[in-house]
Amino acid sequence: MTAVKLEAGSATDVGLVRSNNQDKLLVAEPLYAVADGMGGAAAGEVASAIAVQTLGEQLAYRGGSLSPDDLVEAAQAANRAVWEKAVEHAEMRGMGTTLVAATVVDGPRLAVVNVGDSRLYAMRHGSFQQVTVDHNLVAEMVAEGRISKEEGEIHPRRNIMTRALGVEPEVKVDIFIKDVDPGDRFLLCSDGLPRELSDERISAILRRLADPSEAAKELVHEAKRHGGNDNITVIVLDVVPDPAALADPVTTSHEVVAEVSPPQSSEPHLATAPPAPTPPPASHQRQRRPSPINLRVAAFLLAFLAILAAGAVGVWYYARSAYFVGLNGDSLTVYQGRPGGVLWFKPTLDHVSSVTTAHVLQASLPELRAGVEEPTVAAADDFISNLAKLYQLSRSAALPPSTIPPSTTTTGSVPPSIGPSSSTTASPPTSS
């Protein structure tokens, strides 16, 4: 595919009836846009100016080649900018603007966004057709087959738009993707042009005049000659080879149309003041391309969760990888876990031994109440056996046989040589 660029010619005129020109155009290679403002006093001019300015600012800082998503996001930003201005200034309530904007994206292809009834036409090999779809009550009636195209052209409500930029906090933006080849010609225009000139008349001028600037001036001149009832703005874009750029080997399919933002009401918007600036329903949220910042936040959260999970596994392993001997009532008992537990991992009872507090030295009881850690169950059992043996040795060495107490009694079982008696009843170190 040949690398291409656009050469532009443009013209705008107040027309013969209106007192001011509420149309605005943007020619800032590689971005081109037409906005047709609407609203009382000077509000329409403000709306269209904010729209093209915001669009240009949004895309200027991005650098590199633009993507269709860039264009849609910039149009959404332009919508919010106009909306916020209208909310801030009561005298501008209800203002809005159309917006049709185009730029070359990778492919190369032409990406076009549209809100309202400004238009983009495409001409290839003499074939001329409208690419964008007007957001206009009558255009929709024609599209639905309720009236004919001819009836639509004289319909009294043909100026009522169903979608415009800046009249609601969110707007649905149509996007169109067109293949481009050297020799293709595109036309962006406000409705002041097709209101005066038929498609045949427009295409004849575009075929006759090769220079885009001459063609743009002639289109405006002819529209004024046929009435000039509205502001007229046109941008003629010629696709030409770009020897400065390397060809992109990627080729793409034909026209694609995608809607990328919330559905809007079928009611005309411009007759009413903007509604309260409430966010749209969640189900209507726009599909947005994740920004690098969002991706970084997501990566950080994932890493954070992974660290938390690893930490939890480590704590679990530490908490459960040991045993200890403690007291369960009077019985020396083996528990799995750590005395007192570790965080939310509590020890569990492994088994109760036959040895009671009556069969161990009183001096051993404090550490048994606290829990004596052992690495394995076998080691814990050995520890208990050793305590019992120690007691037996101590007893046989220090006491006469007549002083041996009953094994089930917990008082009076302590040899006088060991120390005073105390309660030997202990709660388990912790619940299981």
Q: Where are the alpha helices (DSSP H) in 4-136?
A: 43-60, 68-88
Number of residues that bind Mg ion (CB under 5 A): 5
Of the ranges 201-209, 228-236, 376-384, 398-406, which one interacts with Mg ion (CB under 5 A)? 228-236
Distance between CA atoms of 204 and 320, rounded to whole angstroms?
A: 86
Distance between CA atoms of 171 and 53, rounded to whole angstroms?
A: 18
Among 70, 134, 179, 191, binds Mg ion (CB under 5 A): 191
Using CB under 5 A as the binding rule, the residues of this chain from 135 to 164 that contact Mg ion are: none
Q: Take residue 353 and report the two structure tokens written for it.
A: 């031994």
Of the ranges 159-167, 183-191, 394-402, 408-416, which one interacts with Mg ion (CB under 5 A)? 183-191
CB of 287 to Mg ion, least distance (A): 30
- Reported in sequence order, the residue ranges of 149-217 that DSSP labels E, i.e. its strands, are 174-179, 185-189
- Which secondary-structure segment (H or E) carries 334? strand 331-336
Cα dihedral 312→315→317→322 (10° resolution): -160
- Which secondary-structure segment (H or E) carries 184? none
Kindly give, in sequence order, each residue whose CB lies less than 8 Å from that of residue 97, ignoring residues fewer than 6 positions away: 24, 35, 36, 37, 38, 44, 47, 48, 50, 51, 82, 116, 164, 165, 166
The smaller minimum CB distance to Mg ion, of residues 12 and 190, is found at: 190
The smaller minimum CB distance to Mg ion, of residues 161 and 380, is found at: 161
The smaller minimum CB distance to Mg ion, of residues 70 and 230, is found at: 230
Of the ranges 43-51, 225-233, 280-288, 319-327, which one interacts with Mg ion (CB under 5 A)? 225-233
DSSP 22: -
List beta partners, residue 177: 111, 256
Give the strands of the sheet with 185-189, arranged side by side: 4-13, 232-241, 185-189, 119-124, 127-130
Q: Take residue 173 and report the two structure tokens written for it.
A: 């933006």
The smaller minimum CB distance to Mg ion, of residues 95 and 365, is found at: 95
Of the ranges 41-49, 173-181, 191-199, 241-249, which one interacts with Mg ion (CB under 5 A)? 191-199
Does residue 381 bind Mg ion (CB under 5 A)? no
Of the ranges 73-81, 224-232, 248-256, 298-306, which one interacts with Mg ion (CB under 5 A)? 224-232
Using CB under 5 A as the binding rule, the residues of this chain from 10 to 69 that contact Mg ion are: 36
The smaller minimum CB distance to Mg ion, of residues 226 and 346, is found at: 226
Please work out, in degrees rounded to the nearest 5, the angle formed at the alpha carbon of residue 248 by the alpha carbons of 245 and 251: 145
The smaller minimum CB distance to Mg ion, of residues 178 and 195, is found at: 195
- Reported in sequence order, the residue ranges of 198-273 that DSSP labels E, i.e. its strands, are 232-241, 256-259
Of the ranges 206-214, 226-234, 362-370, 401-409, which one interacts with Mg ion (CB under 5 A)? 226-234
Using CB under 5 A as the binding rule, the residues of this chain from 192 to 211 that contact Mg ion are: 192
Does residue 230 bind Mg ion (CB under 5 A)? yes
CB of 220 to Mg ion, least distance (A): 13
CB of 190 to Mg ion, least distance (A): 5
Q: Take residue 272 and report the two structure tokens written for it.
A: 């009413």
CB of 36 to Mg ion, least distance (A): 4
Residues at the site binding Mg ion, with contacts judged by CB under 5 A: 36, 190-192, 230
